[in-house]
Structure 1
Amino acid sequence: MIFAQVMAGGTGKRMGNTERPKQFLNLAGKPIIIHTLEKFTLTSDFEKIIVSSHPKWVQYTKDLVAKYISDERVVVIEGGAERNDTVMAAINYIEENYGAIDEHTLVMHDAVRPFITARIIADNIAASADFKAVDTVVGATDTIVRANDGVITDIPVRDEMYQGQTPQTVNVAAFRDFYNQMSEEQRMSLSDSAKVMLLAGYEVGIVQGEESNIKVTRPFDLRVADILARESMDV
């Protein structure tokens, strides 16, 4: 079975002094998370669409979903302390309700990337047939430099460099098995699910993202996203 996870557990500290985490801020009249969820409800492949929320905001999230989303596949659960703990919370939910089956696939996406497209979602699902892990990327347009202590140590070939987006897609059993073997230090240092799968020895496939698949992190991003959302409504 194929499951979606919309990750909404962050508190949005980089957004500044806001009364709600950034995923709940309004974008063209609706909360960002609702824009994101609406994109996922358009894909019929998902058995469940799991929303992982910060424990303090679970009921608030449930109320928003009830107000805006009429899709029984959407369920709200608590996230974890770190990103991969949040992934494991969704995996635990899947296995408790659908069994620990090796074929389960989880498509994970940031709640604050509201411009995800049906094409990107479909490409992640298709690539998961060939890879235990999939990442969504766009080619780097700027030169990437590696530096240490304020000094450049390497300038990689730009044509080989990509910027990671989401969704990231994993085989549930493969992720679970390696995560359970990791030390606490490894779990704290690895915030990227694709990197977890790389360390586990799996090839990670890539699918092409979109420049518009932006992450709303700072106030400037919110202003840009609001313009994009209003433009899409006018089309």
Structure 2
Amino acid sequence: MEKTNVFGVVLAGGIGSRMGNVEKPKQFMEVGKKPIIIHTIEKFVVQPQFERIIVLSPKAWLNYTKDVIRKYIREKDKIDVIEGGATRNDTIMNAISHIEKQYGLDEETVIVTHDSVRPFVTHRILEENIHYAREMGACDTVIPATDTIVASADHEIISDIPDRSQMYQGQTPQSFKAWKLRQVFEALTEEEKKILTDACKILVLKGEKVHLVQGEVSNIKITYPHDLRVAEAILGGEKTC
């Protein structure tokens, strides 16, 4: 069987406003004496199934991103740094367009999209994302919800308490056959695009199946100052997975 092209897509387009008044986006803040984004990219470059790693950065930080990668990553020739979009999904579409122009795109091309500020993704999670994206067309990394989920339509009064056994917390990677993802995204109305919260919802809105991949509690997203301390603690006891 012909080899499927698989691309890692590291989403570093945000500026990290919830981290507080910091001088640079959170993906460039240091944990364990290296920028967070470097820990993340390191997990991708050692995955042999990735043909290329596409890193998407805010326009103002493109050169900085390239400089940081040159400084820390030995396999830098495997990495492309390009500009992100206005939204998360626009950023993913930029990655797909780049892959199409530079390397070619067909119905079997797989992208594994991941937050640059989730530096503790494991080899297993990446492997399973690649497998299920190939087999099912799309997958999402999740962990079971441990707390009761309370819904409130008006943000004041409880409107629903769904069955926790059916609830999951979304993580990343989210992985897809890129051709199909773009096809479905371009078919959405502007109203549908406005309610998108992540890439998987593109497919869910149109009734497409998205397989679940078991995540890890340690696969945290570094969003708030407290998360930096948690990340340092994880790094202190991290083992290769």
TM tier, smaller:
over 0.9
In structure 2, give the amino acid aligned to 1:208.
Q
Question: Which structure 1 residue ranges, 4+ long, deviate > 6 Å from structure 2?
Answer: none
- Deviation, structure 1 residue 129: 2.4
Instruction: Tell me the SS of whatever aligns to 1:152.
Output: coil
Q: Distance in 1 between matches of 2:179 and 2:217?
A: 31
Aligned equivalent of 2:12, options 4, 8, 13: 8
Q: Distance in 1 between matches of 2:219 and 2:160?
A: 28
Normalised by the size of structure 1, how large is the TM-score? 0.96
Identity %: 50
Unaligned 5+ segments in structure 2 are none
Q: Distance in 1 between matches of 2:215 and 2:73?
A: 25
Aligned equivalent of 2:54, options 47, 50, 56: 50
Tell me the residue number matched to 1:18: 22
Tell me the residue number matched to 2:173: 167
Unaligned 5+ segments in structure 1 are none
Q: Distance in 2 between matches of 1:94 and 1:205?
A: 24
Q: Distance in 1 between matches of 2:133 and 2:184?
A: 18
Matches for 1:216-235 after TM superposition, within 5 Å: 216-232=222-238
- Deviation, structure 1 residue 155: 1.1
Give the count of matched residue pairs.
233
Normalised by the size of structure 2, how large is the TM-score? 0.94
Q: Distance in 2 between matches of 1:39 and 1:222?
A: 19
Q: Distance in 2 between matches of 1:94 and 1:199?
A: 25
RMSD in angstroms over aligned alpha carbons?
A: 1.1
1:101 is aligned to 2:100: no
**Relative to structure 1, is the Cα distance of residues 229 and 46 closer, same or farther in structure 2, using a 3 angstrom cutoff?**
same
Contact kept? 1:82, 1:188, Cα under 8 Å: no
Instruction: Tell me the SS of whatever aligns to 1:179.
Output: helix
- Deviation, structure 1 residue 185: 3.4
In structure 2, give the amino acid aligned to 1:170.
F
- Larger proportion of strand: 1
- Deviation, structure 1 residue 42: 1.2
1:180 is aligned to 2:186: yes
Q: Distance in 1 between matches of 2:197 and 2:53?
A: 22
Tell me the residue number matched to 2:78: 73
